[in-house]
Amino acid sequence: MEKIAFALLISSRKLHSYFQAHSIVVMTDQPIRKTMNKIDTAGRLIQGTIELGQFNIEYRPRAAIKAQILVNFIAKFTYPCKEEELPMKTWTVQTNGSTTKKVGGAGVVLISPQREILTYAVRLQFSVTNNEAEYEALLTGLSLAKALKAKNLIVQADS
């Protein structure tokens, strides 16, 4: 929590003129305001709270979008390991999604344990945001891996 509050403080210092001229809305899933207003707040945060108090800052809960929830899920349940620690029959799924004004697309590359490369391109028949295209690419990659009965999977999504 201190790191988030410190990042906000540094931002306010670097963008001082913007913070003075405009109302600032901080979208977060962390209770920053509540933490900074506690009586037993650490000394470093007290000074930051006073400094940030001069600005019109509104804290709003950040609504999660589908793609962000999926990214958070994968990040939480993915454990980094070294190449030699991977099971022998490990598949790799690489995904990427993109959009234009009218159409979206998803690209998937599957790499088998024997290093065979399978490439797929999917044209999305509906309007999507870039995040949604990334989400669709990941779902497509996972569906293809399941259809190929891949048990051990490394997922690499382009950013």
Task: Of 28-37, 48-57, 97-106, give the lowest mean pLDDT range.
Answer: 28-37
Averaged pLDDT of the chain: 77
For the chain, give the number of residues.
Answer: 159
Identify the pLDDT of residue 119: 92
Number of domains in the chain: 2
pLDDT band at 12; cut points 50, 70, 90: confident
* Together in a domain, 39 and 80: no
* Together in a domain, 126 and 146: yes
pTM beyond 0.85, yes or no: no
Identify the pLDDT of residue 64: 55
Is 62 within 8 Å of 72 (Cβ atoms)? no
CA distance 103 to 124: 6
Identify the pLDDT of residue 133: 82
Run of H or E including 51? helix 43-52
Distances (CA, A) of 59 to 28, 36, 56, 124, 142: 7, 12, 10, 36, 36
* Together in a domain, 76 and 14: no
- Dump pLDDT digits (tens) for 70-113: 666 665 556 565 555 555 788 888 888 777 777 788 889 999 98
* Together in a domain, 116 and 84: yes
* Together in a domain, 145 and 114: yes
Calculate ∠ Cα 143-156-78, nearest 5°.
90
- Tell me which of 61, 77, 110 is where a domain ends: 61
* Together in a domain, 7 and 30: yes
Q: In the 8-state DSSP scheme, what is residue 67?
A: H
Domain boundaries, position 10: 2-61
Is 115 within 8 Å of 81 (Cβ atoms)? no
149 Ramachandran zone, left/alpha/beta (phi>0; psi -120 to 50): left
Count Cβ atoms within 10 A of the Cβ of residue 78 and give its class: 0-12 exposed, 13-18 middle, 19 or more buried.
Answer: exposed
Identify the pLDDT of residue 117: 92
**pLDDT above 80: residue 114:** yes
